[in-house]
Chains A and B, each alone.
Chain A
Amino acid sequence: MGLEGFEVEVQQVGKPGLETEEMTLNMGPQHPSTHGVLRFVIKADGEVMREAIPDVGYLHRSIEKISEKVGYHGFMPYTDRVDYVAAMFCNQGWGMVCEKLGGIEVPKRGEYCRVIAAELNRISSHLIAVGCMILDIGAMTPFFHAFREREKINDLLEELCGARLTYNYMRIGGVAWDLPPNYAEKVLAFLDQFEPLLDEYNDLITYNKIYVERLANVAVVPAEVAINYNLVGPNLRGSGVQYDVRRDEPYSVYPELEFDIPVGKGEVGTVGDCFDRYIVRMREMKESARILRQCMKQIPDGPVIAKVPRKFKPPAGDAYVRVESARGDMGWYVVSDGSEFPYRTKIRTGSFSAMSIIDWMSRGLMIADLVAVISSLDVIAPEVDR
């Protein structure tokens, strides 16, 4: 039975045979898988991408310029906004670079408080990273499982500093408040319940055939390329480079703590594919839990903050520190001219280098894989734009 009046007329092209042409597509700035406001201009041949050029800057809030106007202490709340998913690390980076400039030593208990806050934040940030990645690939349920646990960490961090996202917990010279009463028990209770759940996630999604097929052998980054583009953190370790700032350029009390550094091994495909970057984050959560347990056992008594003058004027000079954020090695470069305002602040973030490699990675991939690439790199747009 035919549909009368609905016959499709076959269009005749001038030349015989099929003509092909490159197609320019726009993705974003508002797109559910761009994790922030971010745009891609995709040149595609059918479903295969020739290139995907990121267009960033939609979230540029001139945070570096603001630092020149508000002074050293006043800049701490702004650092939360650099990476609002893992704000503790930005707090820590700013604190550390100012302490290096001013030659301030943080009391031991303060350092432990920092590590506890940072590792809790690392778990919650990785839960967002893997949860959103799974959601982008098309599985809904694991996302809610991840967010359920993240809520519990938010509660713990809220109890610690009063905020659930932009913490403003650390200060130059230490942290703002000591741990609340019975905090160790609460954290340990959370860990006891959380660690078995990681195995549940693995059962639920990690080795799911559809999920693995979407990620294995997709967007492979060899170690040399990763280093050349300065990929950092879980993205670098996904490429098989066993490097972690916490162990290799130790800061804070990390030398006293024992933890492993998971790397991508190409279990289901090639070393450096999307799956490796995913599985590294899953395993890092376990290591963070291990660090937290040790911290709770080892934390000494004493003050949590050093004496720092209200008008903090570090001597003229410059300093660069690196912090292992949830998105990897975060570099803080600050120039002081001896006044109470920083002369220049530069923040080099993990997402920035991850974003700059997307153009290279996307060549020859299917358009549908771009979503997997962006989420496997765990790019957070405000961190790129600052």
Chain B
Amino acid sequence: MDAAVIHECLKARFEARVVDCDLKAKDPFIVIEPTAIVDVCRFLRDEPDLRFDSLSNQSGVDYKAKGIIQIVYHLYSYPHRHKIVLKVDAPRDDPKVPTVEGVWKAANWLEREIYDLLGVTFEGHSDLRRLLMPEDWIGHPLRKDFVEPEEYHGINTRRESPLR
């Protein structure tokens, strides 16, 4: 099934909660309202014609100029061999998105990574702890306004560039 048909399916079922779409992009994507993401994902997974049984990738992007953090879901269906991209925009100052851990288990760690590196809170997540950074790290390194701390536990993080 191609992206246009999937978009029509979602539009018919979720109406205004499907905010926007770009079906001519390199990877066609559909923008969903944050509150609807779990329902949409469950629908995409369970509908016999869609059957998106795998969450291939989930990433967060900090669009500082637009004031949003975007969560991008790359879905793939093994039975039908088709794919779609979902996007959800969360406000940058207090990003909260419902977790899709209940739909695909793979989201557990992917969401932990996004929480760790971008500071997005996934509501309802069973184990929202830092994954890659140390537990006592302050800030979220992949935010565009992140400033590296001058030292960490007495270890200086500043180095002269050898090229200068």
Within B49-89, the residues touching A (CB, 8 Å) are 53-57, 59, 61-62, 72, 74, 78, 81, 85
Known interface pairs A331-B74, A356-B109; A248-B133 also in contact (CB < 8 Å): no
CA distance A284 to B132 in the complex (A): 32
Chain A 358-386, CB-CB to B under 8 Å as 1, else 0, gives 00100000000000000000000000011
In the bound complex, what is the Cα–Cα distance between A284 and B133 (angstroms)?
A: 35
Which residues from chain B contact A149 at a C-beta distance below 8 Å? none
B13 touches A (CB below 8 Å): no
B131 within 8 A of A: yes
Contact between A230 and B81, CB atoms less than 8 A apart: no
In the assembled complex, the Cα of A357 lies from the Cα of B56 at a distance in Å of 15
Of B3-11, B35-43, B90-98, B100-108, the stretch lying at the interface with chain A is B100-108
Within 8 A of B (CB), among A22-81: 56-57, 60, 62, 64-65
By the criterion CB–CB under 8 Å, are A320 and B27 in contact? yes
Q: When the two chains form their complex, are residues A60 and B132 in contact, meaning their CB atoms are under 8 A apart?
A: yes
Contact of B25 among A65, A227, A317, A386 (CB under 8 A): A317
User: Nearest chain-A residue to B62 (Cβ)?
Assistant: A344
Please determine whether B26 and A230 come into contact, CB atoms closer than 8 angstroms. Answer: no
* Shortest Cβ distance from residue B112 to the other chain A in the assembled complex, whole angstroms: 9
A231 CB to nearest B CB, Å? 9
Q: Does B1 sit within 8 A of A, measured CB to CB?
A: no
Q: How far is the CB of B59 from chain A (nearest CB, A)?
A: 4
In the complex, what distance in Å separates the CA atom of A100 from the CA atom of B109?
A: 27
**Which of A131-139, A163-171, A347-355 is the contact stretch?**
A347-355
Does chain B have a CB within 8 A of A261? Answer: no
Interface size on B, residues (CB 8 A): 30
With beta carbons under 8 angstroms apart, the residue of B54, B59, B81, B109 that contacts A352 is B109
B78 to chain A, nearest CB (A): 6
State whether the Cβ of B16 lies closer than 8 Å to any Cβ in chain A: no
B131 & A329 in contact (Cβ 8 Å cutoff):
no
* B26 CB contacts on chain A under 8 angstroms: 100-101, 317-319
- Report if B142 contacts A (CB, 8 A): yes
Q: For B85, what are the chain A residues with a Cβ–Cβ distance below 8 Å?
A: 320
Task: Name the A residues within 8 Å of B131 (CB-CB).
Answer: 56-57
Contacts of B109 in A (CB 8 A): 352-353, 355-356
- Bound CA span A228–B56, Å: 10
| A228 and B72 contacting across the interface, CB-CB below 8 Å | no
Whole-angstrom distance from the CB of A118 to the nearest CB of chain B? 20
**B134 at the A interface (CB under 8 A):** yes
The residue of chain B having its C-beta at the shortest distance from the C-beta of A225 within the complex is: B105
Q: Are A344 and B78 in contact (CB-based, < 8 A)?
A: no
Query: Closest A-chain residue to B103, C-beta based?
Result: A228
Query: Is A243 among interface residues, defined by CB-CB distance under 8 A?
Result: yes
Taking a contact as CB atoms under 8 Å apart, the answer to whether B57 and A228 are in contact is: no
CB distance from A235 to the nearest CB of B (A): 13
Contact residues in B for A101 (Cβ distance below 8 Å): 26
Interface presence of B141 (CB below 8 A): yes
Q: Is the CB of B78 within 8 A of A333?
A: no
Is A286 an interface residue when CB atoms closer than 8 A count as contact?
no
B132 CB contacts on chain A under 8 angstroms: 56-57, 60, 385-386
Shortest distance between the CB of B129 and any CB in chain A (Å): 10
Q: Is A156 an interface residue (CB 8 A)?
A: no
Whether B61 contacts A343 by the Cβ 8 Å rule is yes
Q: Is the CB of B106 within 8 A of A356?
A: yes
Contact between chains at A64 and B142 (CB < 8 Å) = yes
B133:A322 contact, CB within 8 angstroms: no
**Complex interface: chain B residues within 8 A of A352 (CB):** 109
CA A385 to CA B133, docked complex, whole Å: 9
Nearest chain A CB to B60 CB, angstrom units: 8
Question: Which of A65, A224, A329 is in CB contact (< 8 Å) with B142?
Answer: A65
| Complex Cα–Cα for A123 and B23 (A) | 39
- Complex contact B59–A333 (CB within 8 A): yes
CB distance from B48 to the nearest CB of A (A): 16
Q: How far is the CB of B159 from chain A (nearest CB, A)?
A: 14
Q: Kindly state whether residue A229 has any CB partner on chain B within 8 Å.
A: yes
A62 touches B141 (CB 8 A): yes
1/0 contact trace for B131-164 toward A, CB 8 Å? 1111000000110000000000000000000000
Once the chains are docked, how many angstroms separate the CA of A65 from the CA of B141? 8
The reply to whether B141 and A353 form a contact with Cβ atoms under 8 Å apart is no
Q: What CA separation (Å) do A229 and B109 show in the bound complex?
A: 10
Q: Told that A229-B106, A249-B81, A343-B61 touch, could you supply 16 new A-B pairs with CB distance under 8 A? A: A56-B131, A56-B132, A64-B117, A227-B53, A228-B53, A320-B27, A320-B74, A331-B56, A344-B62, A346-B59, A356-B108, A356-B109, A357-B105, A360-B105, A385-B132, A386-B132
Can you report 25 A-B residue pairs in the complex whose CB atoms are below 8 A from each other? A57-B130, A57-B132, A60-B132, A65-B142, A224-B53, A228-B53, A229-B105, A230-B54, A230-B104, A230-B106, A241-B78, A248-B81, A317-B25, A317-B26, A318-B25, A320-B27, A320-B74, A320-B85, A331-B56, A333-B59, A335-B61, A344-B62, A346-B57, A355-B109, A356-B105
Closest 6 CB pairs of A and B: A230-B106, A346-B59, A356-B109, A57-B132, A348-B57, A60-B132
